[in-house]
Structure 1
């Protein structure tokens, strides 16, 4: 068994306040014996429509900037892994939507830049954000081998399957899922589907408040919801039984039964 902390967060527009609260959550998660703590997308700050691309770009940081450096120090002090998200400086007044995996020793072990930008349902993230160009390999953590996606990526099953093929047992999807008609139903359905079709745990910390839906979830490898955080800001710790991953993949061998003689899935 391994314990994972999930933070359901309402980011303010104040980056330093969000960082202070994040550091406190890291310490709290460690005190509750979690091996890793997972934050939602846009942890660094809420970016309202009124904020210009230039203003967001000015607030953004490099991966080894103050925001991540402070979280690395907190991880090292509390001996706990962290999945964090930042606005990473890009080009031409646009930024990357970036997830950073930090080890319990404070080392950066993965940097993933969101591939699929939310240019849908009336939104156009590409006005402010740049799309990543690479799938990051799953990384070993104290919780297990994790593959990272971000929010809208959930709607593209190819990514979660590629991460699973590459060895992920836990899929972590920091999210800021915008509320709206049928949006919670989409969120729940796709998180369950990604878990079931890959025989993996699905860990999805979400933003709450502002324009976001909340409902941070953890789904087990056979599709059972073991955490649903509703609409409240909070941190919850859940235990993952990694034997369930092995059992699910043995009893429902979807990965083994793929017809790779007929079709293949690969990434550049």
Structure 2
């Protein structure tokens, strides 16, 4: 384990042009190498970074994009993490078995290989985001992944709207929260609505940092991806990946429409200091929260 409380964390924000995995992996690797060359000890890639965001339609042919774990992607990114001596968070369309698929984040730790995975728990089903057709909800729970740089609370995209997932990770000892993401605008929305959606997205994740006194690291894709459905306007992914500190303060923010990387040196010792000043975990009324496990209070 590390002796220093300082940790350099990097984020890759990338666009996708097609479903050529090898080309996309090489592109990701180039950006990861750039960050490692700048001193990054941990790097996160965005959600489903091997391909286009195929969930814009329901099409059984897209299941061919999935692969097992371990498989070609884990072999490629595991070797990359070992080569660069970093911790690397990747995102895969996992084929767990015949007819059983997950949206899965995988963590590689230097030369130790794959040290853990997280299967997306909350699965959306909205126009242009038909993920329930492809992904079975995760069954690994909200368990931090132990690495040489600390305990990582890794979640995925739609999970970021749920305070319960962030809280469960924090309660289990996560030292940082990570959200690989693929979210963007419906091009038929007004500029005012687009701003409201983005602001809500950033605010809810900054609130996870505040409520749990933990850094939050978010990687979103950027660029326009046309819809394969006739008459559909496609998705403009809004980028704006960011890293927030344990009081929700923005430490780094990417652009809306460019491929780029973020790099921040976090002071993990500050987490404990913040928790002492704002003792939310001390003051939680766990005796009164039982109804949170119900669907609704009638």
TM range (shorter): over 0.9
Cα distance change on mapping 1:135 and 1:162 into 2, 3 Å: same
Q: How does 1:19-168 map to 2 (within 5 A)?
A: 19-48=25-54, 53-90=59-96, 95-120=101-126, 123-168=129-174
For residue 245 of structure 1, what is the aligned residue in structure 2? 271
Structure 2-normalised TM-score? Answer: 0.83
Q: How does 1:164-175 map to 2 (within 5 A)?
A: 164-175=170-181
Q: Distance in 2 between matches of 1:106 and 1:71?
A: 12
Between stretches 1-10 and 140-149, larger displacement belongs to 140-149
> What do the CA deviations read for 1:41-70 (whole angstroms, capped 9, x no partner)?
011111346765432211211111111101
Q: How does 1:250-261 map to 2 (within 5 A)?
A: 250-261=276-287
Q: Kindly indicate whether the alpha-carbon contact (under 8 Å) linking 2:69 and 2:96 is maintained by their aligned counterparts in 1.
A: no
Which secondary structure does the structure 1 equivalent of 2:246 belong to?
coil
Cα distance change on mapping 1:176 and 1:50 into 2, 3 Å: closer
Structure 1-normalised TM-score? Answer: 0.92
Which secondary structure does the structure 2 equivalent of 1:133 belong to?
coil
For residue 5 of structure 1, what is the aligned residue in structure 2? 10
Q: Distance in 1 between matches of 2:141 and 2:184?
A: 24
Q: What are structure 2's unaligned runs of at least 5 residues?
A: 1-5, 187-192, 225-234, 294-298
Q: Distance in 2 between matches of 1:185 and 1:50?
A: 23
How far off its partner does 1:227 sit?
A: 1.1
Q: Kindly indicate whether the alpha-carbon contact (under 8 Å) linking 1:96 and 1:131 is maintained by their aligned counterparts in 2.
A: yes
Computed over aligned residues only, the root mean square deviation of the Cα atoms, in angstroms, reads 2.0
Moved over 4 A (4+): 49-52, 90-94
Cα distance change on mapping 1:113 and 1:53 into 2, 3 Å: farther
Q: What are structure 1's unaligned runs of at least 5 residues?
A: none
> What do the CA deviations read for 1:44-99 (whole angstroms, capped 9, x no partner)?
11134676543221121111111110110111111011000011114565631110
Quick check: which one's helix share is greater? Answer: 2
For residue 189 of structure 2, what is the aligned residue in structure 1? none
Kindly name which structure, 1 or 2, has the bigger radius of gyration based on alpha carbons. Answer: 2
